[in-house]
């Protein structure tokens, strides 16, 4: 069986979830184009979309149809080339309808894991629990005669652990897509110590076809992205607690978020990012890392938040749930006071926070910089001014910047990545930072 033949029958586990739905969409687009190229013209392609309920699967199929229609409308020139031999398809509308129909016809929604027994490629995007993942892999592997390859979207669990627990004989690779998979360019790829060349080739080819950037990470819990993110969370929480003598809980939280957002020129602050991901998800990832690393990464603060009902995360429609912040039309308008569990209007707190930070240097907004062709020049100018400033805000920002560089260098020294450039690549492409944490801005 050639590596391309494996795409004729694939399965996506957890297909109706936030990550699984995007991974499914990418595979549908890939296979829909593959089936129009020799030697696969006229061959049958099957993509099993496996999840836990018919309701979730119905929502998935609705989502898929909408996304395929949008893609087809944007890529009509490419579709005209694909359907050039279909003389009866003249109007753009006819071509788009044909493409969407064919693509949707490949997808077989089911709640039965048995569908994966016939697949040669298994994509997985279920809960971040090594026992649940491994048991599912083991069951499929024992009933599948095709020696399937498993591509797991785990964001923290060592691939070696999953391989050993499931008895896969090395037929597994970490493919950590970033949220949302259909948009984000980054795939963090984690291979076993002795990877299977064909599996490596499949992932590389798939990434190229999907226009994704691969960043390699070594098989150590948390890998690069969450290895950095979890350690930053701990730094931010320690900073928050150190400010409580001078500021109220709400003021301290908002101050740390403002420093890590505006003064570091990022798309959002650390607490807003934690809320976006979900406090429960952050806690789960940190617990996985703590279990598999010599380094202690426990954080009582996260458990306290969950006890208070501060979870964050997103609703099914993509809107943000209340967590550290309350939102109105995607804008944070209130911040939680963790002492009283009450939300306070952000505008009421800003005068005191701005007086506390006493910033003289006005930062650029991330959205302005991200669109500017002079982005690098403006970033350097800002940090040059910040370096000379002695305000409280400038010092907090410089300390934060230095700590982030140390975390990135630690990832390298601990063998999680082969180069600090890989950390920079992940943070810029996976987290949308305008610059990598390993830099010389304040050195």
Residue 120 makes CB contacts below 8 A (sequence gap 6+) with 1, 5, 6, 7, 8, 9, 10, 146, 147, 148, 149
Q: What is the mean pLDDT of residues 292-298?
A: 89
Q: pLDDT band at residue 42, thresholds of 50, 70 and 90?
A: confident
For residue 188, name the pLDDT band (cuts at 50, 70, 90): very high
CB 335 within 8 A of CB 344: yes
The set of residues, in sequence order, having a beta carbon less than 8 Å from that of 210 and lying 6+ positions away, is: 26, 29, 30
Residues 311-348, buried b or exposed e (16+ Cβ, 10 A)? Answer: bbbeeeeeebebbbbbbeeeebebbbbbeeeebbebee
Element at 154 (helix H, strand E): none
User: Per residue in 9-30, pLDDT tens?
Assistant: 999 999 999 999 999 999 999 9
pLDDT at 1: 61
Whole-angstrom CA distances from 210 to 10, 75, 138, 174 are 16, 14, 29, 17
How far is the C-alpha of 80 from the C-alpha of 429, rounded, in Å? 32
Provide the 10 A C-beta neighbour count for residue 443.
Answer: 8
Find the range with the poorest average confidence among 78-87, 335-344, 374-383.
Answer: 78-87
Neighbours of 24 (CB within 10 A): 32
In whole numbers, what is the pLDDT of the chain averaged over residues?
Answer: 94
Query: 176 - beta bridge partners?
Result: 188
Round to whole Å and give the CA distance between 425 and 224: 10
Residue with tokens 């599996």, as numbered in its chain: 199
40: pLDDT confidence band, cut at 50, 70 and 90? confident
Contacts of 329 (CB under 8 A, 6+ apart): none
Under 8 Å between Cβ of 424 and 436: yes
Q: Would you place residue 88 in the very low, low, confident or very high pLDDT band (cuts 50, 70, 90)?
A: confident
pLDDT at 2: 67
Mean pLDDT of 292-304: 89
Look up tokens 């939300």; give the residue.
343
**Which residues on adjacent β-strands are paired with residue 320?**
314
Q: Which of 59, 58, 60 is nearest to 27 (CA)?
A: 60
> Dihedral angle at the C-alpha atoms of 222, 223, 224, 228, nearest 10 degrees?
20
Question: pLDDT band at 4, cuts 50/70/90?
Answer: confident
Query: For residue 22, what pLDDT is reported?
Result: 96
Percent of the chain at pLDDT exceeding 70? 99
User: If 0-12 CB within 10 Å is exposed, 13-18 middle and 19+ buried, where does residue 430 land?
Assistant: buried
**pLDDT value, residue 36:** 84
The structural domains of the chain, ordered by start, are: 5-217 (3.40.50.720), 225-430 (1.10.1040.10)
Per the document, the length of the chain is 443
CA 105 from centroid of its chain's CA atoms: 28
Strand partners, 177: 187
Amino acid 326: pLDDT: 94
pLDDT single digits (tens) 136-167:
999 999 999 999 999 999 999 999 999 999 99
Question: What confidence tier does 129 reach under pLDDT thresholds 50, 70, 90?
Answer: very high
Mean pLDDT, rounded, for 122-147: 97
Tokens linked to 181: 């998979």
H or E stretch at 79: helix 76-82
Rounded mean pLDDT of 302-322? 87
């Amino acid at each position: 069986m050639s590596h391309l033949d494996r795409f004729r029958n694939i399965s996506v586990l957890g297909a109706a979830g936030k990550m699984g739905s995007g991974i499914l969409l990418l595979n549908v687009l890939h296979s829909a184009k593959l089936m129009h190229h020799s030697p696969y013209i006229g061959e049958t392609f099957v993509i099993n979309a496996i999840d836990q309920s018919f309701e979730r699967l119905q929502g998935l199929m609705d989502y898929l149809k909408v996304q395929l229609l949008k893609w087809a409308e944007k890529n009509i020139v490419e579709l005209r080339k694909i359907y050039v031999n279909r003389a009866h398809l003249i109007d753009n509308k006819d071509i788009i309808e044909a493409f969407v129909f064919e693509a949707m016809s490949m997808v077989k929604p089911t709640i039965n894991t048995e569908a994966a027994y016939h697949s040669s490629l298994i994509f997985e995007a279920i809960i971040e629990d090594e026992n649940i993942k491994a048991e599912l892999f083991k069951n499929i592997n024992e009933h599948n005669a095709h020696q399937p390859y498993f591509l797991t979207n785990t964001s923290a669990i060592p691939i070696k652990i999953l391989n050993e627990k499931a008895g896969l004989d090395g037929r597994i690779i970490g493919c950590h897509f970033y949220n949302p998979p259909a948009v984000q360019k980054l795939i963090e790829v984690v291979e076993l110590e002795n990877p299977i060349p064909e599996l490596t080739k499949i992932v590389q080819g798939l990434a190229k076809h999907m226009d994704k950037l691969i960043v390699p990470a070594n098989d150590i819990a948390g890998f690069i992205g969450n290895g950095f993110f979890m350690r930053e969370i701990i730094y931010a929480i320690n900073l928050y607690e150190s400010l409580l003598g001078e500021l109220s809980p709400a003021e301290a939280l908002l101050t740390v978020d403002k420093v890590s957002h505006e003064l570091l020129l990022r798309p959002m602050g650390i607490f807003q990012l934690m809320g976006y991901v979900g406090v429960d998800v952050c806690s789960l990832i940190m617990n996985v890392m703590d279990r598999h690393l010599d380094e202690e990464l426990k954080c009582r603060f996260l458990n306290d938040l969950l006890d208070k009902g501060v979870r964050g995360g997103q609703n099914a429609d993509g809107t943000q749930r209340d967590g550290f912040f309350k939102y109105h039309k995607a804008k944070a308008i209130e911040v939680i006071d963790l002492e009283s569990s009450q939300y306070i209007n952000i505008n009421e707190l800003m005068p005191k926070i701005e007086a506390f930070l006493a910033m003289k240097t006005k930062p650029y907004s991330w959205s302005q910089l991200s669109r500017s062709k002079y982005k690098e020049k403006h970033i350097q100018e800002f940090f040059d001014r910040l370096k000379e400033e002695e305000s409280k805000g400038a010092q907090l920002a410089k300390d934060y910047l230095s700590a982030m560089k140390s975390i990135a260098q630690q990832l390298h020294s601990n063998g999680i990545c082969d180069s600090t450039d890989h950390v920079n690549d992940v943070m810029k492409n996976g987290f949308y930072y305008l610059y990598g944490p390993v830099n010389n801005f304040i050195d």
